[in-house]
């Protein structure tokens, strides 16, 4: 059990580091590893708790520059459509995840071919982005990549991008966390509950390291960095959708 706590702690640091650099990816990294030694319900519940704190760290570390318009226009439809997407999940959802991976690859290639492309910065685009990202969260189990795919098109300053993504994720993860706890009745084993005393500081450490590296990335390269993470995730989903 001590080794399990150590593995989760190291995984938490790495996932929070990557999630801070890209604005997404924490759940994508942690979920397949955690499912190797934890029941599904406990794995997603624990990851959701860590992800919830990860969002808080991003808000605190990049607190200046939140785009409140995008926060509300993305967040509200994101919550609604995440429930709609979750209700459609079936056994063949792995095929949909692979298709989603292909979509991300094509999207990134399009961004490199058309680097000046941008979605119109209006409330209609934000509502559409929130709905699509929320729906993908429910049906694919991944929301950060879709949200980032839309938000990168707004070409926000890196600090504004990261804190806005964190705030939107905080809104959705709070809803998920309450649903798991009160509706599904999911609980952690006592050892994992005590382990949160280590996992939560570890998540801050990973986020803080990520912030340090983000500060050395020029703004003109930041969009390309996020696109690279999207490409890696797209290839992973296309080849290993389960």
> Where do the domains of the chain lie?
2-239
* pLDDT attached to residue 97: 64
Q: Where are the extended beta strands (E) located within 148-234?
A: none
| CB burial of residue 34 (10 Å; 0-12, 13-18, 19+) | buried
pLDDT grade for 146, boundaries at 50, 70 and 90:
low
* pLDDT attached to residue 91: 44
pLDDT grade for 165, boundaries at 50, 70 and 90:
confident
* pLDDT attached to residue 203: 93
* pLDDT attached to residue 50: 92
Residue scoring higher pLDDT (97 or 4):
4
Share of the chain above pLDDT 90, in %: 9
Residues 177-205: tens digit of each pLDDT = 877 777 667 788 888 889 999 999 999 99
- Alpha helix (H) ranges present in the chain? 2-22, 26-34, 40-61, 68-86, 93-113, 123-140, 144-151, 158-178, 190-214, 219-239
Residues 56-111: tens digit of each pLDDT = 998 888 877 788 878 888 888 888 887 676 556 444 456 666 776 777 787 777 76
* pLDDT attached to residue 202: 95
- 82 contacts 134 by C-beta, under 8 angstroms: yes
Residues 219-237: tens digit of each pLDDT = 666 667 767 777 777 787 7
């Amino acid at each position: 059990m001590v080794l399990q706590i150590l593995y989760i702690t190291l995984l938490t640091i790495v996932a929070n580091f990557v999630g801070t650099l890209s604005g997404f990816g924490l759940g994508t990294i942690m979920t397949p590893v955690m499912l190797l030694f934890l029941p599904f319900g406990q794995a997603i519940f624990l990851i959701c708790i860590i992800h919830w704190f990860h969002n808080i760290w991003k808000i605190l570390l990049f607190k200046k520059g939140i785009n409140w318009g995008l926060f509300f226009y993305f967040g509200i439809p994101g919550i609604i459509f995440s429930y709609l997407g979750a209700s459609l999940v079936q056994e063949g959802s792995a095929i949909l995840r692979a298709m989603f991976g292909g979509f991300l690859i094509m999207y990134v290639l399009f961004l490199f071919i058309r680097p000046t492309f941008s979605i119109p910065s209006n409330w209609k685009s934000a509502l559409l982005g929130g709905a699509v990202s929320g729906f993908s969260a429910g049906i694919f189990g991944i929301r950060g990549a879709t949200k980032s795919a839309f938000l990168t098109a707004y070409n926000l300053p890196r600090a504004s991008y990261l804190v806005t993504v964190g705030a939107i994720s905080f809104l959705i993860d709070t809803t998920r966390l309450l649903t798991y706890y009160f509706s599904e009745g999911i609980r952690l084993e006592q050892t994992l509950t005590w382990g949160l005393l280590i996992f939560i500081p570890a998540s801050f450490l990973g986020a803080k390291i990520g912030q340090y590296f983000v500060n050395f990335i020029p703004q003109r390269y930041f969009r390309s960095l996020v696109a690279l993470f999207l490409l890696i995730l797209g290839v992973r989903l296309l080849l290993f959708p389960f």
